[in-house]
Amino acid sequence: MCTLINPGLLSTVQDLGRAGYRAFGMPPAGAMDRYACTMANLLAGNRRDAAVVEMTMRGARLRFSRPAYVAVCGADMRAELNGRKVRNWSAFPVASGDELAFGYAERGCRSYLAFHGGIAVPAIMGSRSTYLRAGLGGFQGRALKAGDVLAVEPAGALPSQPGELPLSLVPEYAADVRLRAMAGPQDDHFSAEGLRTFWNSEYVVTAQNDRMGYRLEGPAIAHGKLAANQGAGIVSDALCPGAIQVPGNGMPIIMGADCQTTGGYAKIATVIGADLAKVAQMKAGDRVRFVPCSDEEAVAALVAERQCYRKASGAGDDID
C-alpha cells in the first residue's frame, strides 16, 4: 500500500481502456500513452493491462507503508526515491517508509507509475480506467487527491533486482512532432486547397488540451463544396481517439482517450494508433505536422510497436 502525500496536477488510475461500449455512449478512457503504460507494466512484472497511475505535467508524491516493486515510464518527471534520483524507464524495489516523489515533466507530458501486481480497484465494464466526466472507474471515479491510499493486487514474491528498458526502446519526446495520419473519413468535405493546407502546414498545440482532445492553432483549413450548404457540420457519426475534427474556424482538433463517442464536425484525417503516444506527450506550445500514411504503413507501425513489447517482455506471452 501507499499513501498520496501530494497528487500532482492530475493523477488518475488507468489501464488500457474500456472496450466494447461505444455504442452505449461510453468512451474507452484508459492510458493516453499506451506505449509508456504498457512498458511500465512489463518492467513491473505485470500483464500489460494492469492498472497504473497516470500523472500529467507534474507528478505525485507517495509514501509506502509496505515493500513494493514499481516502474516509472513516460515523461521524465525527475523521480526521486528518498531524495535520490531514479532513472526514468526503469523498475526498482521500495521499502516500507520510502517516499517516491515526482516533479514537473522535463520532456513530454504524461508519466506512468506501475506497481507489481497492479493497483487494486474494481473493474467496471471490464476496465479499471477512470473516466472523469462520468465519475466512473479507477479510484472512486475521480482524480487522486492527498490522503488517498492505493492498494496493490497480490502477486506473489516481489522482484528484488532493478530493471531498465533498453535505450533502443525508449522514445524521444520533442517539441516538433510528426504525426502519421490516414485521410478521412470525411476528407471529401474539404477543398483541394484545404487539404494542401492540412498536410503542408505546421500547427501549434494550444492550452486547450486535455484527455478529451487537443485544439491546434495555425493556417485555417478550408471546407469544400459538400460543406457549402451545411457549414462544417455533418450528421453526427462515430469518433475515436486520433480522429481529427475541423470545425467552422478551420482549426483542427485531435481527439483523445476520453473523447465523446460521436461528433458532428467533418474529420479530415485520423492519427494512426501507433502515434497516439506522441499525441499523449504533447503540451502547449509544441509544433505539429501531419504526415500522410497508408493502410500498409499503419499496420507495419502497429506490428513494430508490438515487437517492442515482445523485446521488453522477453517471451511476449501477453502480447497480442
Give the pLDDT confidence of 256-313 residue by residue, as tens digits. Answer: 999 999 988 999 999 999 999 999 999 999 999 999 999 999 999 999 999 999 999 8
Helix or strand (DSSP H, E) at 41: helix 34-43
**The pTM is what?**
0.94
Domains of the chain from N-terminus onward: 2-169 (no CATH), 176-303 (2.40.100.10)
Instruction: Annotate 95-152 with DSSP letters as a single string.
Output: -TT-EEE--B-SSSSEEEEEETT-B----BTTB---BGGGTBSTTTTS---TT-EE-B
pLDDT in tens, 97-136: 999 999 999 889 999 999 999 999 999 999 999 999 999 9
| 91/39 Cα distance (integer angstroms) | 10
* Alpha-carbon gap, residue 141 to 64, rounded angstroms: 23
